[in-house]
Amino acid sequence: MTINQTAPRFKLLLLLMVLLVFSACRTRKNTNVNTTASRAAVVMSHLKSKPLHRFINDWTGVRYRLGGMDKRGIDCSGFAFLLQKNIYGNELPRRSSDQASVIRTKSVGQLKEGDLIFFSFGGRSVDHVGVYLNDNFFVHASTTRGVVVDDLSLPAYQRAMVKAGSIRN
């Protein structure tokens, strides 16, 4: 082969190598997206109480059932009732409105792991309860998603929150 015959092959090989290098360096999709789920996972990993962590993991995904108190279905006040009893040894009334009457009120900035948060989605009276975790996240039995860890700073929760605090001893 002469130099004139190998030059096109060399150029083609060089072009393929350059394309290969650039395709390997292409921009990747950002995998560090700050989603609510990823932030919730971080919050869970920072819980001080390992029994609380296990309890939440064990109940996560259990469907909502009004009046429910077991893995076949649970409502928000039943979940708070069982969590407080099993993790902290606290006795609570069964209904969320009654639970709200036995807490010492705190501001959101004062909340500690295990404190209760009360909401009113249907009017002025308390009709929902969750348990504060940390970093503005709480766990509750959602009517649509079952037991989940949620972000308290979401507008729907901010609008509906009516009271928060710790159980009076």
Looking at residues 136-158, what average pLDDT do you find?
A: 96
The predicted structure's pLDDT at residue 144: 95
Q: Provide the 3-class DSSP secondary structure of residue 21.
A: helix
- Which neighbouring-strand residues pair with 74? 64, 69
Which pLDDT tens digit goes with each residue over 2-50? 555 566 676 666 665 655 555 444 444 544 456 878 888 888 998 999 9
Name which residue leads in pLDDT, 120 or 13: 120
The predicted structure's pLDDT at residue 36: 79
Q: Which of 25, 46, 53, 76 is catalytic?
A: 76
The predicted structure's pLDDT at residue 56: 97
Q: For this structure, is 46 an active site residue?
A: no
The predicted structure's pLDDT at residue 27: 45
The predicted structure's pLDDT at residue 93: 97
Non-local (6+) Cβ contacts of 150 within 8 A are 36, 40, 130, 137, 138, 139, 140, 142, 157
Nearest CA to 72 out of 145, 150, 146, 131 is that of 146
The predicted structure's pLDDT at residue 92: 97
Q: Which of 25, 46, 53, 128 is catalytic?
A: 128
- Categorise residue 4: left if φ over 0, alpha if ψ from -120 to 50, beta otherwise: alpha
Expressed in angstroms, the distance from the first to the final Cα of the chain is 94
* Side-chain half-sphere CA neighbours of 62 within 13 A: 23
Q: For this structure, is 53 an active site residue?
A: no
- Which neighbouring-strand residues pair with 165? 105, 116
Q: For this structure, is 140 an active site residue?
A: yes
Q: Got the DSSP string for 58-120?
A: HHTTPPB-TT-EETTEE-HHHHHHHHIIIII-----SSHHHHHTTEEE--GGG--TT-EEEE-
Which pLDDT tens digit goes with each residue over 75-113? 999 999 999 999 999 999 999 999 999 999 999 999 999
Looking at residues 158-163, what average pLDDT do you find?
A: 95
pLDDT at 160 over 50: yes
The predicted structure's pLDDT at residue 40: 87
